[in-house]
Structure 1
Amino acid sequence: MRTTIKNSGLKAVINHKGAELISFTSKDNIEYIWEGNSEFWGKHSPVLFPIVGTLKNNQFIYKNNTYHLPRHGFARDLDFQLIDSKESQAVFSLKANEETIEVYPFHFELQIWYTLKKSKLTIAYKIINQEEVTMPFSIGAHPAFALPKAFENYSLVFEHPEVLKSYQLENDLLSDVTVSHEMNANKLPLTYPLFEKDALIFKKLNSKKITIIENEIPLLRVQFDDFPYLGIWTKNNAPFICIEPWLGYSDTVHSTGNISEKEGIQFVEPKQTFACSFSLEIL
């Protein structure tokens, strides 16, 4: 099933599987979300929960028990319920069940709120802890933006000056190796060799806004005030770029496996709600 929301200038389509944004178009019908061609990558904008990235040996330890989770968790593969819908807003919910508790031993509700206002789509997450204990989790976004012209026509403009230093992956785990990236003022020109070692992973940035530009023309801005970490990724020769706000990242090569000690892990207190959001703005 799919749900469509719209306002006078924008339209967004969300697939109930994974509560995944699969289309975001302007009033002149320009599509900003990657089409999901499986020849390159068969997703559009998956939600990463309850982990971001990869666990060492695809497992974690909690209270001396071992649990197994695939890369990026399970939310992107499960059906969400539409719990509220208006013309310009839709709210989706995923609740723990027997299958999720086997791999992530917590009773939770994950709500995802899609809201259109003027030229902006806001995507808000609410992680509700229904347990009597503190719940560890990570959550992240993975939107892929369509780049219909030659990849080198595009650049990413950061809100503030940056000394860009990304962490490299080693067997899908975060290594100690960092790579510095040259900027032209606040601008990072896109080239495929940037991603020859997989995603660019940033633990610290000054910027909370990144703008995609095409030959100096601004197209779309991602704003991620609530997210301390960021991934940027594409595949070789693929006509898209992912700008991924994260609350968490892959295990490091030094990980103990204990989820409570995991770098970047977040916590929500018993019977409490953790909320965060980011936005996409067509320029």
Structure 2
Amino acid sequence: MLKIESDHFLVTINPKGAELTQITDKKKELDYLWQGTAWKRHAPILFPSIGRSNDDHYLIDQKEWPMPQHGFARDYDWTVVEQTATEITLSFVGNHETATLFPFKYTLQVTYALTATGLNCHYEVINNDQQAISFALGSHPGFNVPLVPDTKFDDYYLDFGEAAELATYLIDPAPFRSGQRGRLALEAGQLALNHRLFDNGLILFDRPSTTVTLRNRKTTDSISLKTADFPYMALWTLENQTEDFLCIEPFAGLPDQYGQQQAINTKLGNQTVEVGQRQQFDYQMIF
């Protein structure tokens, strides 16, 4: 495992997938990321697809190409580009194997940098090809909920500031979009958490504010995500179970609509980076 560390925080990263595996507040002795076994991951990077493709394929110029759920970047070793005590940059370049899934030339980079209050996550998608590249990019961190002793999952809520509701994308069947939209009302900008919210799968919506904060009703401990570069967000935990974690996921892209094989360059939510250009996405975790 790779490590960055400050007086306040310790972060470990798995070179496979450049996945965050531990974020610890050393002063509070709090571990923020899920370490359980019911879900085998911690905070995977989703690229170049989010969710599952219809029939596990998508289209480029009417030709079918296979695509695993959430893409493939999370399943390959990344290379360390540079590292200091408190910051690390890792890179993934497509190879002969991934070219059978996504036939473009690109570089995907992530930089994790500790700050006085948390962790900055900076992503770059660089187009090394001779044509524009369409893709989706997502971050999938799972946070411990409950976060602190003597609290339970139902003590927590998400604070979206002044937002009155979430403009959702209905899921049916999970994990696909149905093609219909919905609205989830908030109470004073808050969404109270309970496991029943997730019995039908993830909650997917247009990001209603640049900051969302996970809070509980008994202590002042919290986790905030500032996600201005990611237009969508998803919430997920295991369906019909009561595991103690919640994924709060910044998305630059959307899952497929059920029953419609998607053309990559016209898929709703996909991002485009032009020839010789790069696209950057940032978000911050504040503890």
| Structure 1 counterpart of 2:74 | 76
| Structure 2 counterpart of 1:31 | 31
Deviation at 1:215, TM superposition (A): 1.4
Question: Bigger shift: 12-21 or 182-191?
Answer: 182-191
Q: Distance between the aligned counterparts of 1:259 and 1:91, measured in 2? A: 28
Identity of aligned residues (%): 29
| SS in structure 1 at match of 2:109 | strand
| Structure 1 counterpart of 2:59 | 61
Deviation at 1:256, TM superposition (A): 4.6
Question: Gaps spanning 5+ residues in structure 1: where?
Answer: none
| Structure 2 counterpart of 1:210 | 212
Which of these residues, 225, 238, 247, is aligned with residue 243 of structure 2?
238
Deviation at 1:178, TM superposition (A): 4.1
Instruction: Indicate if the aligned counterparts of 2:157 and 2:190 stay in contact, CA closer than 8 A.
Output: yes
Deviation at 1:188, TM superposition (A): 0.7
Instruction: Indicate if the aligned counterparts of 1:4 and 1:11 stay in contact, CA closer than 8 A.
Output: yes
| Structure 2 counterpart of 1:269 | 274
Deviation at 1:27, TM superposition (A): 2.4
Q: Which amino acid aligns with 2:246?
A: I
1:281 pairs with 2:273: no
1:52 pairs with 2:50: yes
Question: Gaps spanning 5+ residues in structure 2: where?
Answer: none
RMSD value over aligned CA atoms?
A: 1.4
1:108 pairs with 2:106: yes
Q: Distance between the aligned counterparts of 2:164 and 2:53, measured in 1? A: 29
| Structure 1 counterpart of 2:14 | 15
Which of these residues, 186, 190, 195, is aligned with residue 187 of structure 1?
190
Question: Bigger shift: 153-162 or 131-140?
Answer: 153-162
Q: Distance between the aligned counterparts of 2:76 and 2:144, measured in 1? A: 25
Q: Distance between the aligned counterparts of 1:59 and 1:176, measured in 2? A: 18
1:257 pairs with 2:262: yes
Q: Distance between the aligned counterparts of 2:18 and 2:207, measured in 1? A: 28
1:136 pairs with 2:134: yes
User: What is the aligned length?
Assistant: 278
Instruction: Indicate if the aligned counterparts of 2:166 and 2:208 stay in contact, CA closer than 8 A.
Output: no
Q: Distance between the aligned counterparts of 1:228 and 1:182, measured in 2? A: 19
Q: Distance between the aligned counterparts of 2:234 and 2:284, measured in 1? A: 16
Instruction: Indicate if the aligned counterparts of 1:159 and 1:208 stay in contact, CA closer than 8 A.
Output: no
| Structure 2 counterpart of 1:5 | 4
Task: Report the TM-score, using the length of structure 1 for normalisation.
Answer: 0.94
| SS in structure 2 at match of 1:126 | strand
Q: Which residues of 2 match residues 212-231 of structure 1 at below 5 A?
A: 212-215=214-217, 217-231=220-234
Task: Report the TM-score, using the length of structure 2 for normalisation.
Answer: 0.93
| Structure 2 counterpart of 1:168 | 170
Deviation at 1:139, TM superposition (A): 0.3
Instruction: Indicate if the aligned counterparts of 2:12 and 2:22 stay in contact, CA closer than 8 A.
Output: yes
| SS in structure 1 at match of 2:99 | helix
Instruction: Indicate if the aligned counterparts of 1:162 and 1:205 stay in contact, CA closer than 8 A.
Output: no
Instruction: Indicate if the aligned counterparts of 2:110 and 2:121 stay in contact, CA closer than 8 A.
Output: yes
Any idea what the Cα deviations from partners look like across 1:220-246, whole Å, max 9, x if unmatched?
101101000000111220101110000
Any idea what the Cα deviations from partners look like across 1:182-220, whole Å, max 9, x if unmatched?
322111110111111100000x23311111112152411
